[in-house]
Amino acid sequence: MNPLSKYIPLYKKELFESVVPFWEKNCVDRECGGYFTCLDRDGSVYDTEKYMWMQWRIVYMFATLANSNYNRPGWLDIARHGYAFLVRHGKDANDNYYFALNRKGEPSLAPFSIYSECFAAMGCAALYALTKDAAHKAEAESAMRHYIERMDNPKGRWEKGLAGKPKRLNLGHYMILANLGQVLNEGLGTDKYLPEINRAATTVLEQFWNAKLGALFENVNTDGAFDLESCEGRHTNPGHGLESMWFIMRHARATGNRAMAAKAAEIALKLMDFGWDKKFGGLYYFMDVLGKPHMELQWDMKLWWAHNEAILAAIFGFNCTGDKRFLEWFEKLQDWTWKRFPDPGYGDWFAYLNRHGEPTHMLKGGKWKTFFHVPRYLFIALDEMARDVWSS
């Protein structure tokens, strides 16, 4: 029996009695369509802007839950509700998804981010897995195609950088592709995107990982060089790194690639140690690889999603290797995270803590937080905790 299985009752209770009910009750805009994501601590709406990442993530999560053994009445309807609004209002003439709409569905921010396509593809693939509706499949494949096509020039004509700005490869684009390909393959019942997953996973492990410095860089030069002379070049995000590693470990396990799983697991251990605040605990939001000043003033904050992804990395690390160091990290992360982020008063989790671990904002959703990281973490963890360790 997996030693993590003892946490299954806790995770089930948190997901199905706290997190899901909070969003199920408060996020659906039944008048105009789509969802409210700017939710205060008690679930009241403090802004009606509809950010595309946040909208499609809700579609994805409710469709995923509806397609599970935990399905409850109404979840598929909530996912379809968002899909209908977003497909009708969300795209420009070139089929690129806007960054944001107003409440009525009118475009309010241009389609400068390819992550809008990413989460549209995920949401539609999750819907198709359950409905087998050809329109859901077509939309998933269209959004995926646009995501891949835009990777070399993600912002297009909305790019603010000029000729003097160095050309970089961005970790986020590749780590997302590694997960996105898995979601589409599973949801659409295909192996069509396996080459893209392999390309993304290999790029992350071979180009963004610097073994000498023990860090996973967020940005590397297009020639593969690490830039240690600029803040952008030295920038790293421990949460992103750990999210990348569990994406890759999951893919490696599915394809039987033990060497890839072992490398990702070892990197995850190094990233946990690198990103951990040795004085106050928790994972830093941003870090400079060389310990130099960071441009972002929120660099030392502790964010919900980074801890969600770190715990998943610890779980996957243990399940892929049996290495007990991952159990130690799981307990450490579990203890620190669950004492601070869950809100027993109103449900769901706080998002932003200061370095000491105290909430700086009471909100439960906004421009960057929605019904995604917390429920995905809890849902995937439930499955992993019931699994046996990958045997040799």
Please give the pLDDT value at position 391. 77
Q: Does domain 3-385 have CATH number 1.10.2020.10?
A: no
The answer to whether the pTM exceeds 0.85 is yes
* Longest CA–CA separation in the chain, Å: 57
| Residue 267 falls in which region: left (phi positive, over 0), alpha (psi -120 to 50) or beta | alpha
Report how far apart, in Å, the C-alpha atoms of 293 and of each of 170, 298, 352, 353 are. Answer: 21, 12, 21, 20
Q: In angstroms, what is the C-alpha Rg of the chain?
A: 20
Please give the pLDDT value at position 110. 97
CA atoms within 13 A on the CB side of 126: 29
| Residue 390 falls in which region: left (phi positive, over 0), alpha (psi -120 to 50) or beta | beta
Predicted confidence pLDDT, tens digits, the chain (392 residues): 899 999 999 999 999 999 999 999 999 999 999 999 999 999 999 999 999 999 999 999 999 999 999 999 999 999 999 999 999 999 999 999 999 999 999 999 999 999 999 999 999 999 999 999 999 999 999 999 999 999 999 998 998 989 999 999 999 999 999 999 999 999 999 999 999 999 999 999 999 999 999 999 999 999 999 999 999 999 999 999 999 999 999 999 999 999 999 999 999 999 999 999 999 999 999 999 999 999 999 999 999 999 999 999 999 999 999 999 999 999 999 999 999 999 999 999 999 999 999 999 999 999 999 999 999 999 999 999 999 999 75
Gap between the terminal Cα atoms of the chain: 16
Contact 78, 6 (CB under 8 A): no
Burial class (CB in 10 A: 0-12, 13-18, 19+), 187: buried
Please give the pLDDT value at position 392. 57
Pairing verdict, β 215-216 and 45-47 = unpaired
